[in-house]
């Protein structure tokens, strides 16, 4: 269970990373009706393809372009929906699974947009898209100078797992470095799977 305590102020890339991590965790908690969602300390499974499917959303602001994604296998999302709706797995059609994962990204993208606008940075979001996880090999970025890349696992209470990712293409480093965010401090465990931040 998440417990709010004093906020900690993060800056620049750390703030953006944390903001996106929190938004994705909160999105999955809200959409999956599971307050126990967290980022486990275990390392990521091998990449760059982390799931059969991925749900993607884009955000555009004057200082950066953000791509948020969640990799998933349909049986994991289907099980989550079956639990939420108290329905047998067979009743959960593919279209519903896709809608569920689109909506998750909508929530996370909307949350990032609100946080950015709260800091005076206007942002627009795209529609969320469902595509194959395999498509990642055509878009994955390694060590691109003006990109901030972060992939991390998301674990639900029932131990089912997703992999979330973000890529931020920086348009204005000055704006990014000046970005400040009051991250909510919680006691639910480390948000970062690389030990960088502790605020959920």
Partner 1 sequence: MSSSQNESSLRLKENRYLQASHHIIQWLEESKLKSDTFIDESVEAFCVIEKSGRIVRGNRTFARLLDVDMEQLLNRNFNEILSPAGQSVFAEKIRFVRDPDTEATTVEFELPIAHRAMTFLWSVREFTCQADPRQRFYAISGRDLSRLRQSEERFSTIYENLPVGVLQVEAALRVAPNYSRRTETILGTRDIAGRNLMVLLFRSGWERLSDEERTQAQLLEVVLGYSDRQFDAIKGKLLRRAFLPDPAKPGEGRWVTLTYAPIMQDQVVRGLLVVLHDRAP
Among 125, 96, 129, smallest CA distance to 109 is for 125
Q: Which is nearer to partner 1, 32 or 133 (CB)?
A: 133
Q: Which is nearer to partner 1, 46 or 195 (CB)?
A: 46
Phi and psi at 24, nearest 5°, equal -70, -40
Burial class (CB in 10 A: 0-12, 13-18, 19+), 188: middle
| E strands in the chain | 8-11, 53-60, 64-72, 124-125, 129-132, 147-155, 161-170, 180-183
| Residues in 84-123 at the binding interface with partner 1, rule: CB under 8 A | none
Tell me: does residue 44 bind partner 1 (CB under 8 A). no
| From 85, 89, 122, 139, residue interacting with partner 1 (rule: CB under 8 A) | 139
| From 4, 46, 86, 195, residue interacting with partner 1 (rule: CB under 8 A) | 46
| From 8, 26, 30, 48, residue interacting with partner 1 (rule: CB under 8 A) | 48
Q: Which is nearer to partner 1, 76 or 200 (CB)?
A: 76
Determine how many CB atoms are found less than 10 A away from the CB of residue 10. 19
| From 7, 45, 62, 196, residue interacting with partner 1 (rule: CB under 8 A) | 45
What does the binding site for partner 1 look like in residue numbers (CB under 8 A)?
Answer: 45-46, 48-49, 51-52, 73-75, 126-127, 129-134, 137-142
């Amino acid at each position: 269970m998440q417990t709010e305590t004093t906020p900690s102020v993060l800056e620049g890339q750390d703030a953006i990373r944390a903001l996106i991590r929190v938004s994705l965790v909160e999105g999955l908690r809200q959409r999956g009706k599971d307050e126990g969602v967290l980022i486990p300390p275990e390392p990521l499974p091998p990449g760059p393809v982390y799931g059969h499917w991925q749900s993607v959303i884009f955000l555009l602001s004057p200082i950066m372009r953000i791509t948020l994604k969640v990799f998933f296998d349909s049986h994991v999302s289907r099980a989550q929906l079956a639990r939420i709706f108290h329905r047998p797995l067979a009743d959960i059609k593919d279209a519903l699974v896709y809608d569920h994962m689109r909506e998750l990204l909508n929530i996370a993208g909307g949350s990032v947009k609100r946080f950015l606008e709260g800091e005076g940075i206007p942002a627009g979001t795209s529609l969320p898209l469902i595509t194959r996880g395999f498509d990642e090999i055509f878009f994955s970025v390694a060590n691109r100078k003006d990109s901030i890349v972060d992939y991390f696992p998301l674990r639900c209470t029932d131990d089912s797992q997703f992999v979330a990712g973000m890529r931020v293409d920086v348009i204005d480093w000055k704006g990014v470095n000046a970005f400040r965010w009051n991250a909510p401090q919680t006691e639910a465990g480390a948000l970062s799977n690389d030990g960088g931040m502790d605020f959920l």
